[in-house]
Amino acid sequence: MQERSGDAPGAAPRRAPWGQALLLVGLSTVGTLLAIELLLRLLAGQPLGRPDPGGAIRMVGSRYPGSHHPELGWVPTPGEHTQNAWGTRVTITRQGTRAHGAAPLPGDPVIAVGDSFTFGDEVDDADTWPAQLEGLLAAPVVNGGVFGYGLDQIVLRAEALLARGPAVALVVSIVPNDVLRCEYAYRYAWKPYFTVQDGELALAGVPVPEPDRGPPQEPAPRRWLRRSYLADLVYRRLDPEDWLLPDSLRVHRRGVEVGSLLIDRLDAASRARGVPWLFVLNWYPRANPAPADPIVARARALGVEVLEMQSRIEAELSSGRARIADLYRIHAKEGEPLEVGHMTRRGNALVAAAVAERLRASGIGRLGSVAPSSQEADSKSADAQRGGAERNPSS
C-alpha cells in the first residue's frame, strides 16, 4: 500500500486545518480580552482590585473613613483621615472610635453610640457632642457613633462596645429615620438586619458581604464576572439597572416592630452588665418623628430614661437665641432649596449639655463642670460652612 507523501511512518495524522484555525482564534480572543482587562485595570488604578458596582456615596471608600465589618457592615477605619466627605478633621482611634482632639481621660467611660449625628459628620473631632460631653463631665466618653447606622447596627455596636470592659453609663442617640433603616439589607453598603419570627428577633444578612459584592443570592457565574473590569464595563451598558447596586435595598417594612424589640434587647444587655443607659432622640428640622414614637414609648415602658431634643432645640430657635444656621450646616445648591445638614459645634453643644445634665443627675461626672456659654459655643463654631457628600440627615 502506498503511503501518503509527507507522512512519516507511524506518525499521527496531522491536525485538520480548521482545528488549527479554531485554536488560533480562541487563543487570540482570550489574549485580546485579557489585554483589555489589564488596560481597564490600569486606567482605573486598580491592577489587583475589583470594580465597584455602587454609586458615589459609599460607607466604605476613600471619602468615607469606613472599613468592611462582617457583623456590623462597616466601622470607622483607624487613623487620621484628612481627605473625607466632610472636609473636616477626622481621627479614629485604634479601637475604631472617634477621637476627641485631646488626650483621653482615665477611668471607666461613658459609652455613646448612634448614627452620623453622634459620630459628628461635618465637624472636627473636638466639636462632636461626645467630645464636648467629655469636657462637661470631666470624665472619659467613648464616641462609638458611626455614619449611616440604623437602630439595628447601633444596638449591635453598643453590645460590642459594652463587651470590651466596664462602663459607667451608655448613651444611645438616634434620629427618627434610624428606625426605618432597620428595614434595609443595603444602604450604601451591605448591612446586617433583623427579621421577626414568632415575636422574636432573628439576625440576618451575616456575615455581611463586602460592599462591592452583588446580592448574596446572585448566581455564582455572575458573582465571578463581578471581579472583571471588562464585564463591569459591558454590563453597565447592557443591563445597568440589574447590574449596578442600588443606593438601598429594602427587605421588609417592619422597622417599628423590629425597633421596639431592639429596645428590649438593649435594655436586657445593659441590665445584665449593670450599666444604666440613656435614650436620646435627636432632632433636625423637617424630621418626621412618627417612626420613633413607638420606640420612645417602649423605652419609657421599660423604665429607661429618655431625652427628647426637639423641644430644647425649638425653644432655642423660637427664643431668638439661635438661628437654624447656628445649629446646623446649611447647604446651598444652585436652583435647589436649601438643605439642612448635620449639627455644628454649637448644635452639638446643646446635645452635650442636655446629656450631661441627665447624667449628672444620676451621679455621673463632676458637678463642678459647667457647659460653655452660647457666646463661647458661637465663637468656636465660626468655621465656614462646608459641603459634604452626606448632606441630608436622612442619608
% of the chain residues with pLDDT over 90: 61
Q: Are 344 and 123 in contact (CB under 8 A)?
A: yes
Q: What is the pLDDT of residues 76-100, one digit of tens each?
A: 999 999 989 899 999 999 999 999 9
φ and ψ at 317, to 5 degrees? -75, -45
User: In the predicted model, is pLDDT for residue 138 greater than 90?
Assistant: yes
Name the least confident of 30-34, 60-64, 175-179, 374-378: 374-378
Buried b (16+ CB within 10 A) or exposed e, 346-356: bbbbbbbbbbb
**Per-state percent for the chain, helix, strand, coil, to nearest 5:** 40, 15, 45
pLDDT at position 293, please?
Answer: 97
Per-residue pLDDT band for 267 (boundaries 50, 70, 90) equals very high
pLDDT at position 372, please?
Answer: 44
The residues that bridge with 174 in the sheet, in sequence order, are 281
Amino acid type, 133: L
DSSP annotation of 190 reads: B
pLDDT at position 61, please?
Answer: 78
User: In the predicted model, is pLDDT for residue 31 greater than 90?
Assistant: no
pLDDT at position 21, please?
Answer: 79
Name the least confident of 47-51, 125-129, 142-146, 238-242: 238-242
328-331 and 339-343 beta bridge pairing: antiparallel
User: In the predicted model, is pLDDT for residue 348 greater than 70?
Assistant: yes
Name the least confident of 5-9, 98-102, 246-250, 371-375: 371-375
User: Domain for residue 192, yes or no?
Assistant: yes
What is the residue range of 298's domain?
Answer: 69-213+240-380
Q: What is the pLDDT of residues 285-329, one digit of tens each?
A: 989 999 999 999 999 999 999 999 999 999 999 999 999 999 999
User: What size, in residues, is the chain?
Assistant: 395
Position with higher pLDDT, 29 vs 87: 87
User: In the predicted model, is pLDDT for residue 383 greater than 50?
Assistant: no
User: In the predicted model, is pLDDT for residue 219 greater than 80?
Assistant: no
User: Domain for residue 195, yes or no?
Assistant: yes
User: Domain for residue 287, yes or no?
Assistant: yes
Q: Are 189 and 66 in contact (CB under 8 A)?
A: yes
User: In the predicted model, is pLDDT for residue 15 greater than 60?
Assistant: no
pLDDT at position 54, please?
Answer: 60
Give the contacts of 266 (CB within 8 A, at least 6 positions apart): 155, 158, 159, 172, 277
User: Domain for residue 245, yes or no?
Assistant: yes
The mean pLDDT value for 178-189 works out to 95
User: Domain for residue 60, yes or no?
Assistant: no
* Grid coordinates given for 69: 465589618
CATH number for position 171: 3.40.50.1110
Largest CA distance in the chain: 116
User: Domain for residue 142, yes or no?
Assistant: yes
pLDDT at position 216, please?
Answer: 65
Mean pLDDT over the full length of the chain: 86
Position with higher pLDDT, 342 vs 17: 342
386-387-392-395 Cα dihedral, nearest 10 degrees: -110
User: Domain for residue 172, yes or no?
Assistant: yes
**Number of neighbours of residue 80 by Cβ within 10 angstroms:** 12
User: In the predicted model, is pLDDT for residue 344 greater than 90?
Assistant: yes
pLDDT at position 14, please?
Answer: 57
At residue 24, the 3 state secondary structure works out as helix
The mean pLDDT value for 338-354 works out to 96
Domain count, the chain: 1
Helix and strand numbers, DSSP H then E, in the chain: 14, 15
Per-residue pLDDT band for 378 (boundaries 50, 70, 90) equals very low
Position with higher pLDDT, 16 vs 105: 105
Strand residue runs (E) in the chain: 66-69, 73-76, 79-81, 90-92, 110-114, 141-143, 169-174, 184-187, 193-197, 200-204, 248-250, 277-281, 305-308, 328-331, 339-343
Which burial class, exposed, middle or buried, applies to 225 when counting CB atoms under 10 A from its CB (0-12, 13-18, 19+)? middle
Q: Are 72 and 192 in contact (CB under 8 A)?
A: yes
pLDDT at position 375, please?
Answer: 41
Q: Are 279 and 172 in contact (CB under 8 A)?
A: yes
Indicate the angle between helix axes 255-273 and 151-162, nearest 10 degrees.
10
User: Domain for residue 41, yes or no?
Assistant: no
User: In the predicted model, is pLDDT for residue 388 greater than 60?
Assistant: no
pLDDT at position 337, please?
Answer: 81
Which burial class, exposed, middle or buried, applies to 32 when counting CB atoms under 10 A from its CB (0-12, 13-18, 19+)? exposed
pTM: 0.80
User: In the predicted model, is pLDDT for residue 281 greater than 80?
Assistant: yes
Q: Are 202 and 308 in contact (CB under 8 A)?
A: no
Give the contacts of 357 (CB within 8 A, at least 6 positions apart): none
CA atoms of 17 and 362, how far apart (whole Å): 90
193-197 and 200-204 beta bridge pairing: antiparallel
